[in-house]
Structure formats: C-alpha cells, structure tokens
Amino acid sequence: MKHPSDTGGTALVTGANSGIGKEVARQLLGSGLTVYVGARDLGRGQAAVDELGSGAQLLVLDVTDEQSVAAAAERVTELDVLVNNAGISDTGQPPTETDVDTLRRVYETNVFGVVAVTNAFLPALRRSAKPRVVNISSGTGSLGWSTGPNPQFDHRNAGGAAAYRSSKTALNALTIFYAQSLAAYGPFKVNALAPGLRATSLNSRAAELGGTPRKQQRKPCDSHYSPTTDPQPGSSPGTARSPPGEPIR
C-alpha cells in the first residue's frame, strides 16, 4: 500500500495553531493529507485552520485534560500520522532553583500529555496500514550532549532549563518504549525528532535566535513520515536523528 501522503490519509498535529506545529500541518497538507489541527483554544485553532486552508480541520484538544483528549479521540476514527508537538518550556532555571510545581506543569504537557494522546488515538492508528507516531523532542534532552561537547549548545550551563530538558529526556525514553511495544502490531514506526532552535513562542530565546519553523520542517515531512524510514546508524531503537538543537515547540 502507498504511503498516506499518496492516498489522501489523515494526520493529527497537537499544538498546531502556531510555530512548528502549524508548519508541520502546512507541509502535511501540501503532501495531500487531511490534517487535524490540534489546539487548546477554539479561537486560535480556528484562525490557524482558516490560514492553512483546504484539508485542515480544527480539533479542540488540551493534552493535559483527560475529558478533552477522550472527546477528541472519539471524533477521529481513522488516523495515519500522529505528531505529538504540543509542548511548554520553563524559566530556564537549574534543578536547585526549580520548584516541584514547575516540574509537574512541564511534565504534564511534555510527557504525560504525549502518553495520554498516543494511547487515546492508538485504536485509530491501528486501522492504518502504516501508522506513524512522531514525538517532537529536543537535543537539550540528550544525556550525551548534556555531559559533553556538542554542536548546538554549551553543556557547561549548570543544568539550566532542568524541567524542560529532563521532560524531553523522558520523552526520548518513551519514544523507544512505544516503538518496542508497538512493533508487535505490524508496521508501526515511532520516532523522535529534534528540529533545533526555531523562532517560536516557546520562550524568548527561541523567538529571538531561532530559525524559522519552515526552514527545518521540510526534513520531518520528507523523511520521518516515510514508510521506509528506519532508525539511522548510531541512533537509539525507535528514534530517528535530525539536527538536534535547543528548546522547541
């Protein structure tokens, strides 16, 4: 069977009313898919759908709200591609200056929300011939990069953005575990993607220093949704490498 982009399949992108999520939605639409634009806010979501045009459908979805997730999953009965993009940042503090409430808030969206959405939409994904799940991660969540020189950031930054970065570390682990557990159900592919620092509303540094979302998002739309994409050499099982970077949304 052809890839969903060749047959008019269906995708869901969470947090798709702005930034990277909206650009991913735009390019999936350009590939011929119907795209559910996941958004917490009805007004902002509808504005994004209006901008994206034909093929975009609003799906009100708060990944931190159990009832919202359940209601959204009831509406989507068939799904080929799930992009877990919704995410929030912290204030850049090290763990010694991070309170537990901040950790809970960041993990609620960046980790627990991904689990809630993925599990809720698994029945719809299992109806696809070649289901794909892509989790938007960050190079700052890499334990290897956080403990040694890397091409993206200074690892000697005293553990800044501890809540955000550790949430992406947890997400990377979950990506592997999902890939392993879903392998028994056939052609599932589960990958993590780190687009690098993009100019989004995630935080002030991203808005000031990041490249445009469109600049990097050609790669996930070209490769990570491909039915032939496998983990690249040197990457962990269930993940695919793209240029990792700093906090993204």
Query: What CATH number did the domain enclosing 34 receive?
Result: 3.40.50.720
User: Does any domain span residue 64?
Assistant: yes
d(CA 60, CA 45): 7
Q: Is 168 designated active site?
A: yes
Q: How far is CA 70 from the centre of its chain?
A: 19
pTM listed for this prediction:
0.81
User: Does any domain span residue 233?
Assistant: no
User: Does any domain span residue 234?
Assistant: no
State residue 159's pLDDT score. 85
Active site residue: 168, 178, 189, 225, which one? Answer: 168
Structure tokens at 115: 């689990």
State residue 156's pLDDT score. 81
Query: Which regions in the chain score pLDDT beneath 50?
Result: 1-2, 5, 198, 200-201, 203, 206-207, 209-210, 212-213, 216-249
Domain count, the chain: 1
Contact 210, 200 (CB under 8 A): yes
State residue 205's pLDDT score. 52
- Give the side-chain half-sphere CA count within 13 A for 188: 26
Q: Which domain holds residue 210?
A: 4-224
State residue 206's pLDDT score. 47
Active site residue: 36, 107, 130, 164, which one? Answer: 164
Q: Is 185 designated active site?
A: no
State residue 188's pLDDT score. 95
User: Does any domain span residue 245?
Assistant: no
108-145: per-residue pLDDT in tens? Answer: 999 999 999 999 999 999 999 999 999 999 999 989 88
Tell me the CA distances in angstroms from 218 to 89, 121, 152, 222, 225, one per residue in order.
24, 25, 20, 6, 11
User: Does any domain span residue 247?
Assistant: no
